[in-house]
Structure 1
């Protein structure tokens, strides 16, 4: 077990990195920490992989400490129920996203959790299931029923809570981008539902509105083909 003094020292180090301006920006996105992520990654690089330390950092409940834990953990060392409990405790968006992308996607339990979470009544938990589904659409679509996924998106995305809606919209766009045979239907669903159609998008960034997103990425891919 990592010594409690090490955890205390790391908490003090993270507290010293607190930047009020960074916290203000993060809080607008639902996150409650003010640590520059580049500096956080530098600490993780220094610590290297330490699974027991990661567990103790996670157990503090501190958001910055949990982000650090996700950078120094060993993803395949977590049990299925442990990851489920962590996901349900990860209520801030950045911790939630890092847990799914840096840990769960690398876990042997990813597919089991994908199925369980997608069907969960908690929309934040369900959004994690949809994020894992989007990853499968992109990397390993074999065995997925893409028409059925589009059916669910068509029926439920419009009225889904924000984070779940965002995750379902990403899945819709990924299906349209990666699977030409379903592209027309994916674009049609996006056009009819108009989810994120008016989302403010900075210059030189791709809109998250699915039809625009799909068409832009496909256009770029076609330009790369000799």
Structure 2
């Protein structure tokens, strides 16, 4: 904790706080500490329990993803209120855990939009890698009905799922693009030069084009 405190940079914290993250540690330096520590599940649990965002990010890098039971991951997700901790928990831990599908189903229908966004993130992963038993038309129905009015984090996750369906599944591509065009979610999102817009019709079209080049 003292080492993490020594890495605190007010300028980094200022930038992070604009995105809802309350830490000021350079993530490259955080990853270097994790590389030095290697996997240490007990230490990871102690770091998580501090409640400190930088400590929790480090915990997620040195933990053993398969060591957590379903209930513990559910508690951890509900404690993860900052975007970076939430994102790393889902991507670095939950996706590698044997309970990921059960948690996806639980979180997907949760009334808390931040929790639900994790369910959508896991669903997006399945759209790309294991879509066989997913109801893709049903997902598009929900997106069409609810994405426009969803809170930011949930809206972003639903939009990613919409784009992934359009990119991965040609039979649903026209409908996915049409939904994006009609709802106009993230249409005016500022995009840096060389980056692809998160506006689903542009995102889908660009990713499909790259695959055919």
- The TM tier, using the shorter chain, reads over 0.9
SS at match of 1:112: helix
**Do residues 97 (structure 1) and 87 (structure 2) align?**
yes
C-alpha deviations, 1:159-180, integer Å up to 9, x for none?
A: 0000000000000000000000
Distance 1:45 1:203 in 2: 32
Counterpart position of 2:179: 189
Per-residue Cα deviation, 1:112-140 (whole angstroms, up to 9, x for no partner): 00000010000000000000000000111
Partner of 1:23: 13
| 1:121 is aligned to 2:124 | no
What does residue range 167-178 of structure 1 map to in structure 2 within 5 Å? 167-178=157-168
Q: Residue in 2 aligned with 1:160?
A: 150
Q: Pick from 6, 29, 33: which aligns with 1:43?
A: 33
Answer with 1 or 2: which has the greater Rg.
1
Structure 1: runs of 5 or more not aligned: 1-10
Determine the structure 2 residue equivalent to 1:64: 54
- The answer for the alignment partner of 1:6 in structure 2 is none
Question: Equivalent residue for 1:143?
Answer: 133
SS in 2 for 1:158: coil
* Equivalent residue, structure 2, for 1:7: none
The residue that corresponds to 1:107 in the other structure is: 97
Runs of 4+ in 1 over 3 A off after TM superposition: none
Secondary structure, aligned partner of 2:148 = helix
Q: Partners of 1:67 and 1:142 in 2: how far apart?
A: 33
CA distance in 2, matches of 1:134, 1:172: 8
Structure-2 residue corresponding to 1:205 = 195
Gaps of 5+ in 2: none
Q: Residues of 2 paired with 1:55 and 1:221: CA distance?
A: 41
Once the two structures are TM-superposed, the CA of residue 60 in structure 1 deviates from its matched residue by 0.2
CA distance in 1, matches of 2:185, 2:47: 38
RMSD: 0.3
TM-score by length of 2: 1.00
The separation in 1 between residues aligned to 2:13 and 2:129, in whole angstroms, is: 35
